[in-house]
Chain A
Amino acid sequence: MRAKLNDQTDEAGVLQRLNPVSKLLAITPAMGVLMLVTDPYTPLAFVAFGALVTIVLGRLSPVDYLRVAGPLVALAASFLFVYPFVVGSSAGTSSDVFASLGPLAVRESGLRVGVATGLRILALSILSLLFVLTTETESFLRALVQNLGLPYRIGYSAIAAFRFAPKMRSDVETIRAAHTVRGTPDTDSLRDRLHRMSRYAIPLFVNAIRRAERTALAMDARAFGAYDERTHYRTYSITSADITFVVFFWTLSVGIVLTLWYLEALGTLTILR
Chain B
Amino acid sequence: MSALTKQLTAVRNWETRDLLVVAALGIIPGLALLPAVFAGFTIRAALGPLGTILNSGLFYLPGLMALYIVRKPGASILNGVFVGLVWIPLTPFGLAVTVPTIVARLGSEIPFLLTQYRRYDRSMMLVSGAAAGLLSLGAIYIPSSFQTLALPMQAALIVGHGLSGMILSGLLAKLLADKLAETGVLSAYPIVDDVDMRS
Direct contact of A and B (CB under 8 A): yes
**B→A interface (CB under 8 Å):** 11-12, 14-17, 19-28, 31-32, 41-42, 45-49, 78, 81-82, 85-86, 88-96, 142-145, 148-153, 176, 179-180, 183, 185-186, 188
Provide the bound-state CA to CA distance between A121 and B108, in Å: 27
Provide the bound-state CA to CA distance between A81 and B44, in Å: 11
A217:B17 contact, CB within 8 angstroms: yes
**A→B interface (CB under 8 Å):** 20, 24, 28, 31, 35-36, 38, 72, 75, 78-79, 81-83, 85-88, 90, 92, 94, 96-97, 100, 109, 113, 116-118, 120-121, 124-126, 128-129, 131-132, 135-137, 140-141, 151, 153-154, 157-158, 160-162, 164-165, 168, 201-202, 204-206, 208-213, 215-217, 219-220, 224-225, 228, 270-271
Known: A20-B89, A124-B95. 9 other contacts (CB 8 A): A35-B142, A75-B41, A128-B94, A154-B11, A161-B26, A209-B24, A216-B21, A217-B16, A270-B142
B89:A219 contact, CB within 8 angstroms: no
A211:B19 contact, CB within 8 angstroms: no
Provide the bound-state CA to CA distance between A159 and B156, in Å: 40
B48 in complex: contacting residue of A86, A154, A161, CB < 8 Å: A86
Given A97-B153, A158-B82, A201-B176, A208:B28 Cβ within 8 A: yes
Given A82-B46, A117-B145, A158:B150 Cβ within 8 A: no
Q: Which B residue sits closest to A215, measured CB to CB?
A: B20
Q: Which B residue sits closest to A129, measured CB to CB?
A: B92
Residues on the A chain within 8 Å of B94, using CB: 128, 131-132
Provide the bound-state CA to CA distance between A206 and B182, in Å: 11
Q: List 22 A-B contacts (CB under 8 A).
A: A31-B95, A35-B142, A38-B145, A81-B45, A85-B48, A87-B149, A88-B153, A94-B150, A128-B92, A128-B96, A153-B16, A158-B27, A160-B20, A161-B20, A161-B23, A165-B31, A209-B24, A213-B188, A216-B15, A219-B20, A225-B12, A271-B142
